[in-house]
Amino acid sequence: MTERRENAGERGSLLEARDLHVEFASRGRRARAVDGVNLAVGEGEIVALVGESGCGKTTLARTLLGLERPTSGSVLYGGAPLSYSSRALKAYRREVQLVLQDPTGSLNPRHTVYEAVAEGPRIHGMSDERDRVVSALARTGLRPPERFLHSYPHELSGGQRQRVVIAGALALDPRVLVADEPVASLDASVRGEILALLLRLRDELGLSALVVTHDLGLAWNIADRVAVMYLGRIVESGPVEQVLRSPTHPYTQALLSVLPESPSPVVLSGEPPDPTRIPGGCRFHPRCQVLAAGAAARAGVEGRCRSQPLAILPVSPFSADSHAACHYAGARLE
């Protein structure tokens, strides 16, 4: 694993999805949950993957973790494609770790904090188990760690539980954290603390992170780059400042416009669409406010919006450019 890291270069991508497709059978139909995604997380980079529920972001995260197998395309870690043999996967688990949304459900109620954090090191037969547990707990701000070792999850607050979950991941010394809505079920005041912890872990340990969320404020708070996902595809990606300050894709614009502080909300009608029935052309066109307002027609791209599919966005880590999969945005650039 170490050679691979060096080969990847200092500013290379650590974890990468390349033309990834994941399909499920859903009530007799094929659901294209992830339908062609390029995504990269660089060394020490925090990437936010933003989208509504059902857009495939959680499936994408699970596939990156090797918990789901892609239908086609590949997951690359340190430049090498992920192997799905159980031995290789187990080794991979030490490198890429998961933090789930619900810290209460993520901890076995019958296990103490010590057992929960030591689970990873035990599975991997690591020595110095106790030291690992204690230092992981201390790193996540549960101090003094000894005070928490024999507590049960129900004796802790929500924020403390999430710290225990993060400590459980850190005990394996991973290089990447994949966090699925890490603060969505936490109280408002605790939220910032957990996000600050992720930032601090990046600064102190060089930990990369892919944070899956529906919360653009979270992306603004901690991420370096953001990728906006809609119906199995990434529709816009780039540095946080660019994408969130001057979004070019109508979907990103709409998401930003419905934030409580925003002056003129564009509330898209309808439900998030169904991955078993992905519309032709631009997959966003049935809900697109730019198309509905006639702006696309004036720019002469309306026909393309309705019929011509868009190419999969290229994504490279640390890239300073943002990209949008939109005919209208493309036409305006030309």
Residues 153 to 182: which contact other proteins by CB under 8 A? 157-160, 165, 168-169, 172
Is residue 53 involved in binding other proteins (CB under 8 A)?
A: yes
Is residue 286 involved in binding other proteins (CB under 8 A)?
A: no
Is residue 289 involved in binding other proteins (CB under 8 A)?
A: no
Region from 106-114, 129-137, 293-301, 304-312 binding other proteins, contact rule CB under 8 A: 106-114
Nearest partner of 64 among 16, 135, 129, 10, judged by Cα: 16
- Could you tell me if residue 91 is left (phi over 0), alpha (psi between -120 and 50 degrees) or otherwise beta? alpha
CB of residue 334 vs other proteins: minimum separation in angstroms?
27
- Decide: 45 and 318 in contact? Cβ < 8 Å: yes
CB of residue 193 vs other proteins: minimum separation in angstroms?
3
Range 178-205 burial, b when 16+ CB lie within 10 A, else e: bbbbbbebbeeebbeebbebbeebbeee
| Pick 129 or 215: Cβ nearer other proteins | 215
Q: Which two tokens stand for residue 57?
A: 């972001």
Coil/strand/helix, residue 177: strand
Is residue 97 involved in binding other proteins (CB under 8 A)?
A: yes
Is residue 188 involved in binding other proteins (CB under 8 A)?
A: yes
Q: Considering only residues 37, 136, 231, 255, which one is a binding residue for other proteins as defined by CB under 8 A?
A: 255
- Decide: 207 and 127 in contact? Cβ < 8 Å: no
Residue 324 — φ and ψ, nearest 5°? -135, 140
**Total residues contacting other proteins (rule CB under 8 A)?**
71
AA letter at 134: V
Binding mask 192-231 for other proteins (x = CB under 8 A): xxxxx--x--------------xxxx-xxxx---------
Contacts to other proteins from residues 294-323, by CB under 8 A = none
CA distance linking residue 191 with residue 197, whole number of Å: 10
Region from 69-77, 101-109, 127-135, 311-319 binding other proteins, contact rule CB under 8 A: 101-109
Is residue 119 involved in binding other proteins (CB under 8 A)?
A: yes
CB of residue 210 vs other proteins: minimum separation in angstroms?
13
Is residue 120 involved in binding other proteins (CB under 8 A)?
A: yes
Rounded (10°) CA dihedral 100, 259, 320, 322 = 100
